[in-house]
Amino acid sequence: MFGTFQQSSLRIEIAASEQSLRESLLYPTKLRQWLVPIRLDQGLPEQLQPGLTYTSWLGPVPIQHQVARVEPNCLRLLLSKGVDGFQEWYWGDGWVQSRLEGISLLPINLGQTFTLLRLKQFLAQQS
């Protein structure tokens, strides 16, 4: 993989319940609504489950995700192709945290910040 090793951990407050955050992160139907401009594979199951592999697209760049762990307040994804590494999500009432580490030519911190702000905006519109 080409690129540099990057790591980023961000935690933000979000005016949303733990359940709303869980659904927004684990249900592809919801993911598609707030991850714009990132596109997800078609034909995904109703909820992300361990062992599932899918691809997201940021423009022409594919990022493959393998769901490694799903718990009531945690999601861990192993990443390959556009980013070689992992992403972890943790959440609770009123907050969400994302940790991302990997090798990539993409600016990981910028993408992660944008993603968290899109999630916050999406959930604010839902209430």
How far apart, in whole angstroms, are the C-alpha atoms of residue 76 and residue 118?
19
- CATH class belonging to 4-126: alpha beta
pLDDT in tens, 37-51: 899 999 999 999 999
Q: What whole-number percentage of the chain has pLDDT above 90?
A: 91
Angle, helices 18-26/108-126, rounded to nearest 10 degrees:
120
Domain boundaries in the chain?
A: 4-126
How far apart, in whole angstroms, are the C-alpha atoms of residue 7 and residue 56?
20
Q: pLDDT at position 1, please?
A: 64
pTM: 0.94
